Amino acid sequence: ERSPERQSKKKVVAVVGGGLVGALNACFFAKRGFDVEVFETREDIRQAKIVKGRSINLALSHRGRQALKHVGMEEKIVSQGIPMHARMIHSLSGKQSPIPYGKKGQYILSVDRANLNKELLTEAETYPNTKLNFDHKLQDWSAETGLMTFVRPDGSTEDFQADLIVGCDGAFSAIRKQFLRRSRFNYSQTYIPHGYMELTMPPINGEFAMKPNYLHIWPRNTFMMIALPNMDKTFTCTLFMPFEEFEKITTGDEVIEFFQRYFPDTIPLIGADALRRDYFRLPAQAMVSVKCSPYHIGGTCVLMGDAAHAVVPFYGQGMNAGFEDCIVFDEIMDQFNEDFSAVLQEYTRVRVPDDHAIADLAMYNYIEMRAHVNSKWFLFKKYVDNLLHFLMPRTIVPLYTMVTFTRTRYHEAVERWHWQNKVINRGLLFSAAGAVLGGSYMLIKNPPDINKLVTPAEKMWDRLVALRTP
Ligand SMILES: Cc1cc2nc3c(=O)[nH]c(=O)nc-3n(C[C@H](O)[C@H](O)[C@H](O)COP(=O)(O)OP(=O)(O)OC[C@H]3O[C@@H](n4cnc5c(N)ncnc54)[C@H](O)[C@@H]3O)c2cc1C
Ligand SMILES: COc1ccc2c(c1)CN(c1nc(C(=O)N(C)c3cc(Cl)c(F)cc3C(=O)O)c(Cl)s1)C2
């Protein structure tokens, strides 16, 4: 229960950025009784016709669902998502091989980005102590005073003062700009050479063109495509390819030639005309990885979501990690009784190692998939993962299982993965050594009569020689 004096000095929390993490964070802070003001540069997307998002749909998994559950939104969002129980690997020959994500209840959800954002904004608005300010672009702010200046569409500016500023303004955060000017602020960003382009796969006779409850993947080493299902029975296909490869394709015929060569089974499903047209609708988008620390300045400002850690999408964790930021921060608010200086410092100490770990993991997976992951290798690796997990369920847990289906701290999941690899490699080494030692012991103990020892290759050779002898 809040004491009367606390009631009078209600603290004001400004959330800059009304995207996925900002909208969710507004619910977390409003639930705690703070006065929440959300400032979003775009117009209210709930009134906009179409929303230019980065990816049309996203994979929501355990970490993200736990955050939604915390503000009572899990059921609603899950009911508007499509479960994906397995990956469906498409080989070059068009063969489809399913690989389950885990046991029965272990599935991920394909959710529509714009719809998720709208639902979270609407939920934030249901709190009487929350106000959404659209068409407010943060231009500058002071770490000393907590004073912020916003630019309106007509060019006018508006100042606002807050007790706590939460920077949720994405990978190109304006809040983070002030951090960059301060000493001992670590920052790195990496654009990867791949870009991504989204293409739509329409329904066929009102039905999904492919099996809907799967994350469809066409792994082709340098190139890769994935497809996630949408509620309107379309699939959103995301093509990943180096920019220089995108640039080589300049005509409709070259698009078809390219798909004919790498993704032949998708041509009839996406449609040749649609491919020719949609490929040139928008240029391929860039993907950036941002790592920084600390996430806070004093007791005044803290970064969350992509503003703190933009990750390449090759683990489907960016939003899930940003949503988990909100739970971790909330847990620390309880531990330190909402004392912002103590909370922010502890948040950096706890969260930086984990967000850096998932950023590294996603980049590692990008490099791994680009290097040598085609459909056979992908299938082989996942089978080995699942077999070892089946044989030693408590010792070997696949990395993607820890990342996607548990709230194991990201950096602990990576440490465990390294340990498991050592155990497996040592195990393989010993069993190989055992086989060699055991085998040679048998040969020494009772050596075979060398004349009788004819290998299949030798048999074949003898037959060939016999054939040639006139
Ligand atoms: C191709 C692709 C696929 C992805 N797939 C997945 C997936 O499957 N699963 C997953 O978990 N994640 C995925 N992600 C990552 C996910 O999209 C991001 O992690 C997530 O959108 C981060 O949310 P955010 O709110 O931190 O940032 P954003 O979603 O970028 O929101 C930032 C908000 O701040 C606003 N803003 C920016 N600057 C200002 C300013 N100066 N003043 C006021 N407002 C401002 C923006 O308008 C925006 O609304 C994917 C990303 C890409 C690119
Ligand atoms: C909307 O745009 C995008 C773009 C990329 C992704 C998603 C949505 C959703 N993504 C998921 N990745 C995993 C995962 O853990 N790994 C290792 C995988 C990584 C890749 Cl790249 C892949 F193709 C399959 C798996 C797999 O295991 O299925 C999930 Cl689990 S969900 C990647």
Q: Does the beta carbon of 18 sit less than 6 angstroms from any atom of ligand 1? A: yes
Q: What is the pLDDT of residue 1?
A: 45
- Dihedral, CA of residue 37, residue 38, residue 44 and residue 46, to nearest 10: -90
Q: Does the beta carbon of 167 sit less than 6 angstroms from any atom of ligand 1? A: no
Ligand (nearest to CA of 194): 1
Q: Token digits for 72?
A: 């009572």
Q: Whose CA is nearest to atom 16 of ligand 2?
A: 315
Cα of 20 from ligand 1 centre, angstroms: 6
The mean pLDDT value for 239-260 works out to 97
The mean pLDDT value for 79-89 works out to 97
Q: Token digits for 254?
A: 């070259």
* Cα distance between residue 403 and residue 467, in whole Å: 60
Nearest-atom index, ligand 2, CA of 87: 28
* Cα distance between residue 34 and residue 130, in whole Å: 8
Q: What is the pLDDT of residue 370?
A: 86
Nearest-atom index, ligand 1, CA of 171: 30
pLDDT surpasses 70 at 110: yes
Q: Does the beta carbon of 21 sit less than 6 angstroms from any atom of ligand 1? A: yes
Q: What is the pLDDT of residue 66?
A: 98
* Cα distance between residue 436 and residue 372, in whole Å: 30
Per-residue pLDDT band for 433 (boundaries 50, 70, 90) equals confident
pLDDT surpasses 90 at 55: no
Q: What is the pLDDT of residue 53?
A: 52
Do residues 54 and 198 touch, judged by C-beta distance below 8 A? no
What pTM was computed for the model? 0.91
Q: What is the pLDDT of residue 269?
A: 97
- Greater confidence (53 vs 111) lies with 111
The mean pLDDT value for 201-229 works out to 96
Q: Token digits for 461?
A: 């050779």
Spatial strand order of the sheet with 82-84 comes to 57-60, 108-112, 82-84
Q: What are the tens digits of pLDDT across the range 360-404?
A: 999 999 999 888 778 888 888 888 888 888 888 888 899 999 999
- Greater confidence (376 vs 74) lies with 74
Residues found in the chain: 470
* Cα distance between residue 89 and residue 217, in whole Å: 5
**φ and ψ at residue 121, rounded to 5 degrees:** -65, -45
pLDDT surpasses 70 at 467: no
Q: What is the pLDDT of residue 445?
A: 84
The mean pLDDT value for 30-40 works out to 97
pLDDT surpasses 70 at 285: yes
The 10 Å Cβ neighbour count of residue 429 is 10
Nearest-atom index, ligand 1, CA of 310: 19
Cα of 148 from ligand 1 centre, angstroms: 22
Q: What are the tens digits of pLDDT across the range 286-344?
A: 999 999 999 999 999 999 999 999 999 999 999 999 999 999 999 999 999 999 999 99
Q: Token digits for 434?
A: 């055992």
* Cα distance between residue 355 and residue 177, in whole Å: 19
Nearest-atom index, ligand 1, CA of 175: 41
The DSSP result for 375-430, as a single string, is: HHHHHHHHHHHHHHHHHSTTT---HHHHHHH----HHHHHHHHHHHHHHHHHHHHH
Cα of 1 from ligand 2 centre, angstroms: 43
* Cα distance between residue 316 and residue 58, in whole Å: 7
ipTM of the complex: 0.99
Nearest-atom index, ligand 2, CA of 226: 23
Cα of 316 from ligand 2 centre, angstroms: 5
Q: Does the beta carbon of 45 sit less than 6 angstroms from any atom of ligand 1? A: no
Least confident of 195-204, 286-295, 330-339, 434-443: 434-443
Per-residue pLDDT band for 453 (boundaries 50, 70, 90) equals low
Do residues 73 and 26 touch, judged by C-beta distance below 8 A? no
Element (H, E) at 178: helix 175-180
Q: Whose CA is nearest to atom 28 of ligand 1?
A: 170
Q: What are the tens digits of pLDDT across the range 145-172?
A: 889 999 999 999 999 999 999 999 999 9
The mean pLDDT value for 100-127 works out to 95
Q: Does the beta carbon of 59 sit less than 6 angstroms from any atom of ligand 1? A: yes
Q: What is the pLDDT of residue 37?
A: 98
Do residues 360 and 413 touch, judged by C-beta distance below 8 A? no
What does DSSP assign to residue 313? S
**φ and ψ at residue 223, rounded to 5 degrees:** -105, 155
The 10 Å Cβ neighbour count of residue 105 is 8
* Cα distance between residue 402 and residue 394, in whole Å: 12
What does DSSP assign to residue 272? H
The mean pLDDT value for 95-110 works out to 92
Q: Whose CA is nearest to atom 11 of ligand 2?
A: 316
Nearest-atom index, ligand 1, CA of 150: 42
CA angle 442, 448, 451 (to 5 degrees): 155
Ligand (nearest to CA of 320): 1
List the beta bridge partners of residue 374.
Answer: 220
The residues, any chain, with a CB within 8 Å of residue 93's CB and separated by 6 or more, are none
The mean pLDDT value for 274-285 works out to 96
Q: What is the pLDDT of residue 198?
A: 96
* Cα distance between residue 169 and residue 20, in whole Å: 10
